[in-house]
Amino acid sequence: MDGRQDVMVMPQPPANPIVQLQARFRDLEVGFRSWLAKQPLAVEAAFVTATGAFQGAAIGGLMGTLTSDMASTFPSPPPQATGLSPQAMASLKQAQAFSGGPLIQARNFAVMTGVNAGISCVMKRIRGVEDVQSSMVAAFGSGAMFSLVSGLGGPNQAANAVTSGLFFALVQGGLFKLGQKFSQPPADDIYYSQARRMLTSLGLQNYEKNFKKGLLTDQTLPLLTDSALRDVKIPPGPRLLILDHIQRDPELKRGR
């Protein structure tokens, strides 16, 4: 006997193929975005604009298909109908802008989303940050272009474009702030980021709440023992996997 006690390590359960596929797609997306960010601004902006326009065209085409029956509800006025007031004409054009067929809506939404994506890309590259100001500038541009291509509003296209742009910008600014408020993780989550990654890689993410309940933060990972994991009610199998992972991780092993 050499005084060492052999510990039987249970084999890890097979990884979920869906989780693996999602992780691979995320890695590919991150790698492609990293490559695209290194390209000239014109190349990145053109690609992002084209991608945004394609997505918008798909959404607009679908909406146009679902609302195609509305187009007949708002027919174009006959040429002899010159007695319509400017307000009535403006209302009719607004209705037609949102009730066109698939091709019309695909065009409108392609312009709107493409311009938004392109301006956002340029603003982020120039300013180095994606914030509410950049988001509102992009929304203003997309709203103005949407107004111009769709004929939204009355005969004064310039004023209508500015009005639509301001409306889009205000809505986007409010949504951006609202998204920031609800997307921020709890303040204490920053202390468990490394533990969360470890548990996810082992397929044990359900035990994250046990780590938080026992205050087993990232700083405690190199110090974890079987007794500490048992105290937070983690079963024997997952305990062995966690301890084996820590033992094999060079960074965590150095912290012991």
Q: List the chain pLDDT tens, one digit each, 256 residues.
A: 455 555 555 555 555 677 777 777 777 877 787 788 788 989 989 999 999 999 999 998 888 887 765 555 545 555 444 444 555 555 545 555 555 678 888 998 999 999 999 999 999 888 877 788 999 999 999 999 998 888 776 667 888 889 999 999 999 988 888 876 776 555 567 788 888 889 988 888 899 999 999 999 988 999 999 999 999 999 999 999 999 888 887 777 665 5
- Domains detected in the chain: 28-72+87-183 (no CATH), 187-254 (1.10.150)
Which pair of structure tokens corresponds to residue 194?
């490394």
Is this structure's pTM higher than 0.95? no
Map residue 133 onto helix, strand or coil.
Answer: helix
| Predicted local confidence at residue 127, as pLDDT | 82
Map residue 153 onto helix, strand or coil.
Answer: coil
Please give the DSSP secondary-structure letter assigned to residue 206: G
| Predicted local confidence at residue 70, as pLDDT | 53
Which pair of structure tokens corresponds to residue 206?
């359900």
| Predicted local confidence at residue 167, as pLDDT | 93
| Predicted local confidence at residue 81, as pLDDT | 46
Rounded alpha-carbon distances, angstroms, from residue 159 to 65, 87, 143, 201:
30, 15, 12, 55
Integer Cα distance of 251 and 254 in angstroms:
5
| Predicted local confidence at residue 210, as pLDDT | 92
Q: Which residues contact 230 (CB under 8 A, 6 or more apart)?
A: 239
